[in-house]
Structure 1
Amino acid sequence: MSTSSDRPPTIAPAAAARWQACAPAASPWLHEEVGRRMADRLQWIKRDPQAWADWEPVRGGLRSHALVRKRYPQARVHVVEPQPERMAMARDQLSPPWWRHLPAPLGQGRGGGTEFGPVPSGSAQMLWANMQLHMAADPQVLLRQWHEALAVDGFLMFSCLGPDTLRELRGAYAAMGWPPPAHEFTDMHDWGDMLVQGGFAEPVMDMERIRLSFDTPARLLEELRELGANLHPARFSGLRGRGWPRRLEAALDQHMRGADGKLGLTFEVIYGHALKPLPRARVGERSAVSLDDMRTMLHADRGRA
């Protein structure tokens, strides 16, 4: 069981639950772009999964889902969407066309099927999770779910936002004496530690910064509303009055307008890759190994022999 010390200290669990329930059934532009860049990284992965899972592709990116599907056309796909509205959209957008259910011509394959719902334990050779972790109030619970879904020797591909994200917006809020505009984002080294604690092996972490420019404060705020919500426990509480939008836009204009006349926002994007290792009982220690894990170890040892 996770404790409060395991959770990001600046995420309010109730706010995170509300966002999970009401997040728009849409793929933000930034998520699609990050998903495209993460899909490019699959060229360095030598394993071709027979089955893979996409964790919340509606928010993570439907176009990037298609890129991964194109890379592994014969693999079975599990689509995980906890919220009914987004599951309905996923079924509408990602279900194969009717003709894919017809018998394939002799000697030709139709490719892998698509399944909607929870991933059977240990059934996915890859788990794809684009831009999910930074909105989770208890990320270690999510990491355990991913670990459970993966087969032994399967791999996790994920992305999320890092601590430099929205630094210009944070500066503007601080200059105005306002509470933080967003919760703090976890550093990639801490994600690496959490992966190891969660049973993953050989985590590889990478980071890049993407800077977006906007002509007006209104357009900047529109982009932010598509991306997420402020989950900080010390955020503004309650309504701020009819004049708040004008005050906010004026503050952004004053404190974020650059020499080029644009309002800039930095997004630190973290990419992670990790394996689910073969379970091993430690010599000299009393430990419990499940029957499925024991079978996996035996099969692996025979394969090496």
Structure 2
Amino acid sequence: MATDPPQRPPTIDAAAAARWSRLVPDGNSPWLHEEIGRRMEDRLQWIKTQPRHWADWSPARGGMEAHALLARRYRDAAAFVIEPEPALLAPTREALAAPWWSARRWQGARPSFDVPPEEGVDLLWANMALHMAADPQALIARWHRLVATDGFLMFSCFGPDTVRELRVLHERQGWPPASHEFTDMHDWGDMLVHAGFAEPVMDMERIVLTWPSAEAALAELRTLGRNLHRARFPALRGRTWHRNLRRALPDVALSAEGAGRIALTFEIIYGHAFKPAPRVALAAESAVSLREMRSMLQRGGRPGG
């Protein structure tokens, strides 16, 4: 008998995750998120489906430049922006509102902030969001509802080896965990199938970033997220702790380039999955949504078929 997949990651503090999601990004989207978006967009060349409409999930953090790449690739498709946090709606709208004299106007359709079509979008793009969700299974289920039948989801997130150097440092110092636990790509695949997606394809790569100093590394980390672990430090740390952190970091994260540079590892998980036609098992009483019934009728299907 099939069982539900475990809710992962179990170490996330839901209240802390909610605070992070409402925090308005300072300036541009994080550089690393943009780079991952570029790499993920390049993978679209292997998917021959040409969406009629697509939606970008929270591009404020996922990447404005990545959004522009998709708009250029699918210039004839209707584009939608879904910003789940009201606090990020205005800055996202402003950032994507290219003035009339900008060349960006001709790179693709101006995105709509309206509700996507009832039948869903052919492509849902979700860059670097899933690993910060307190209830990832619920988020994947929400994405499933937004994707049209025969459409597909494209997403990326951090994997378990992310900032492993910081984890080692915290363990050596006897400090609480440096970050919440990140989910393995196989578990993401299980959750996609559980939500109703099919044919999930998962891929992973490791990226090592280097900085000239510990201060520079920590400053960029603050743009990527927060430590959401339930057992993290319960309050702010003082100057002495920060000084100890900066001094100790080169011992576990010294770059091979030398010259005192700091290196940190990021495991990046990429995934995509298709949404098949709904299949409803017949029982004494079977509930079928209007949207599912329309889809089955259009395809000549039937419940349980």
TM-score computed with the length of structure 2 as normaliser:
0.89
SS at match of 1:243: helix
Q: How far apart are residue 121 of structure 1 and its match?
A: 3.6
For 1:141, which of 138, 141, 150 is the aligned residue?
138
| Aligned-partner residue type, residue 163 of structure 1 | P
- Offset from partner CA, 1:23-46 (integer Å, 9 cap, x none): 525310100000000000000111
Aligned pairs for 1:189-208 within 5 A: 189-208=186-205
Match of 2:167 among 166, 170, 184: 170
The answer on 1:221 being equivalent to 2:218 is: yes
Which residue identity does 2:15 align to in structure 1?
Answer: A
* Partner in structure 2 of residue 20 of structure 1: 21
Segment of structure 1 superposing worse, 131-140 or 121-130: 121-130
What's the secondary structure of 2:299's corresponding residue? helix
Q: Match of 1:32, as an amino acid?
A: E
* 4+ runs deviating over 4 angstroms: 96-100, 283-286
Can you list the C-alpha shifts for 1:49-106, whole angstroms capped at 9, x where unaligned?
1110100001000001000110000111111113344222221222354489xxxxxx
AA at the equivalent of 1:201 = A
Q: Which letter does structure 1 place at the counterpart of 2:280? A: A
Cα distance, 1:289 vs structure 2:
1.7
Map of 1:76 onto structure 2? 78
Find the counterpart in structure 2 of residue 9 from structure 1.
10
Aligned to 1:104: none
Contact 1:31 1:131 in 2 (8 A): yes
User: AA paired with 1:70?
Assistant: R
The reply on whether 1:31 has 2:30 as its aligned counterpart is no
Alignment of 1:279 with 2:281, yes or no, is no
Amino acid at match of 2:12: I
CA distance in 1, matches of 2:5, 2:287: 27
Distance 2:60 2:127 in 1: 10
Distance 2:284 2:271 in 1: 32
Q: d(CA) in 2 for partners of 1:57 and 1:47?
A: 22
Query: TM-score w.r.t. structure 1 length?
Result: 0.89
Distance 1:4 1:269, change over 3 A: closer
Matched, 1:231 2:232: no
What's the secondary structure of 2:300's corresponding residue?
helix
Does 2:120 align with 1:123?
yes
Distance (whole Å) between structure 1 residues aligned to residue 117 and residue 22 of structure 2: 23
Deviation at 1:240, TM superposition (A): 2.0
Structure 1 unmatched ranges of 5 or more: 101-108
State the secondary structure of the residue aligned to 1:240.
coil
**Cα gap change, 1:218 to 1:47, in 2 (>3 Å):** same
Secondary structure of the residue aligned to 2:239 is coil
1:156 corresponds to which letter in structure 2? Answer: L
Query: What is the alpha-carbon distance in structure 2 between the residues aligned to residue 146 and residue 202 of structure 1?
Result: 16
Q: Is 2:267 the counterpart of 1:265?
A: no
Cα RMSD (Å) of the superposition?
2.3
Q: Distance in 1 between matches of 2:107 and 2:34?
A: 27
The whole-number CA distance in structure 1 between the counterparts of 2:52 and 2:188 is: 27
Distance 1:224 1:44, change over 3 A: same
Query: How far apart, in 1, do the equivalents of 2:108 and 2:242 lie?
Result: 50
Q: CA deviation at 1:291?
A: 2.6
Q: Distance in 2 between matches of 1:46 and 1:209?
A: 27
Q: 2: CA distance between counterparts of 1:39 and 1:23?
A: 25
Q: Which amino acid aligns with 1:17?
A: A
Is the 2:56–2:126 Cα contact (8 Å) retained in structure 1? yes
Q: How many residues align?
A: 292
> Unmatched 5+ residue regions in structure 2?
none
Against the structure 1 CA distance between its residues 246 and 133, is the aligned structure 2 distance closer, same or farther, given a 3 Å change threshold?
same
1:289 lines up with 2:288 in the alignment = yes
1:247 aligned partner: 244
